[in-house]
Amino acid sequence: MENNSQFIADLLYLLSVTGLQDLPKILIYAIPIVLSWFIYRNVKNKKEREAQKQLEQSRAAGYFEPTSLHPVIDRNVCLGCATCVDACPEGNVLGVINEKAQLVNPSHCIGHGACKSACPTDAITLVLGTEKRGVDIPNLQPNFETNVPGVFVAGELGGMGLIRNAVEQGRQAMESITKSVSTTDSRAPYDVVIVGAGPAGFSATLYAHEHNLKYVTIEQETLGGSVAHYPRGKIVMTSPLKLPIIGQVKLGQISKEILMNFWRDAEQKSGIKINTKERMEKVDRTDDGYVITTQKSAYHTKTVLLAIGRRGTPRKLGIPGEESSKVVYRLDDPAQYRNRSVLVVGGGNSALEAALAISEEPNSKVTLSYRGTAFQNANPRNIAAVDEAAKAGKVQILMQSNVKRIGNRDVAVLYQGREFDIPNDNVIVCAGGVLPTAILKDIGIEVETKYGTA
């Protein structure tokens, strides 16, 4: 409003000092300018109101802590031009309020970095952690080797959440590993064990295969790592990248599904081998390398590349039947649970949101089991939505309950002192994760906690 008033005042002043004989000419030019100005200001004000509303909703829901690499805007340099807002593939992460860009939906940011590239004044810095929430990052040498000789880190664990840069880190780390194994006298049968098959691990595996290294790649879940579990249709990449064997990939801005299809095709055509559903359990140092132990095997290797994500290993229930293929640890696509009886285990936001999403699918039957007396770790909006869904008969809530057994067609749940068998097709366990920090420290890797720093 202040800018509008100033513009009108300037226009009136111009008219006052101009002769009336020139008024028609002035109006010919002034009217389109005035109309354009008011349209521009109205659109800008509308967007600012929307940004303010999103900001208030994020704060009220308790979703105001970024979970990955995210932008920090220097207000002294920011022009408020909204270029960063328009560049963000997520669409609602940034907004312009009071002529300055700021995060309005921080928890939706996954670190694309498109905002930083788009900013004309270099007002954006990509950082990890916040003043309240620190993020542990391993201390790495320029060649991606940790303080523990022979153990390298690339990708998200090392603080690089951008897919393009994680891919490049995976390749560069493998260049360093190739040099390392060429000078070692170790007789370990493997040159490298690559832990993780996300962007960095996938790139590293392609490099190892291309250069005839003796390698094994293990992935606790599926090809793609955490990227494979992003919501359906999510934009995951915004710029081309270069992969070993494959070469330049000019896909531009693409969704999760397109990227995953590309990776699966590349895996098949390149001939690489990735051991999915194989989880690293421990790393033991030997006289001539390391032994990586998984739940399936043990691998004696000269070097190790940790290309794991920051989400950690899903926390298990530790009950009979949990190894069944019908048990998963995050919701990917609610549509796959149509006409299914689904048990969701947990009391946090991910559990409540999974139960709510599935309850909207046709003919789904959702049971939410939580051992606590209240959903203390969930935001009020999700709690209210689940309560409404329960009243409508869409979700059955079992508080202070524990899952005791998972069968082929049912689950056994201890509730109010009695054990019940519930018909069941699928189980989604949302019990959090075991972060990789402990694994790093067990190996002896030094870590630094980042509090909103690059």
Asked if domains 2-127 and 135-312+436-450 share a fold, the reply is: no
Q: Whole-angstrom Cα distance, residue 242 to residue 265?
A: 16
CA-based nearest residue to 343, from 433, 425, 231: 425
Question: Residue 372: helix, strand or coil by DSSP?
Answer: coil
What confidence score (pLDDT) does residue 392 get? 95
The tokens of 104 are what? 């309005």
CA distance 16 to 424: 80
Q: Which CATH architecture has domain 135-312+436-450?
A: 3-Layer(bba) Sandwich (3.50)
How far is 318 from 193, CA to CA, in rounded Å?
A: 28
Whether pTM exceeds 0.85: no
**CATH class of domain segment(s) 327-432:** alpha beta
Residues in the chain with pLDDT < 50?
A: none
pLDDT for 21: 57
Helix (H) or strand (E) holding 352: helix 349-359
Domain ranges of the chain: 2-127, 135-312+436-450, 327-432
Radius of gyration for the chain, computed over Cα atoms and rounded to the nearest angstrom: 27
- Joined tokens for residue 261: 């299809």
- SS3 sequence, the chain? CHHHHHHHHHHHHHHHCCCHHHHHHHHHHHHHHHHHHHHHHHHHHHHHHHHHHHHHHHHHHCCCCCCCCEEEECCCCCCCCCHHHHHCCCCCCEEEECCEEEECCHHHCCCCCHHHHHCCCCCEEEEECCCCCCEEEECCCCCCECCCCCEEECCHHHCCCCHHHHHHHHHHHHHHHHHHHHHCCCCCCEEEEEECCCHHHHHHHHHHHHCCCCEEEEECCCCCHHHHHCCCCCEEECCCEEECCCEEECCCCEEHHHHHHHHHHHHHHHCCCEEECCCEEEEEEECCEEEEEECCCEEEEEEEEECCCCCCEECCCCCCCCCCCCEECCCCCHHHHCCCEEEEECCCHHHHHHHHHHHCCCCCEEEEEECCCCCCCCCHHHHHHHHHHHHCCCEEEEECEEEEEECCCEEEEEECCEEEEEECCEEEECCCEECCHHHHHHHCCCEEEECCEC
Give the Cβ contact number of residue 295 at 10 Å: 11
What pLDDT is stored for residue 447 in this prediction?
86
Determine the Cα–Cα distance for residues 313 and 311; give it in Å rounded to an integer: 7
- Each residue of 176-204: pLDDT tens digit? 999 999 999 999 999 999 999 999 999 99
Please state which CATH number belongs to domain 2-127: 3.30.70.20
Closest C-alpha among 323, 395, 405 to residue 354: 395
- pLDDT tens by residue, 304-327: 999 987 766 788 899 999 999 899
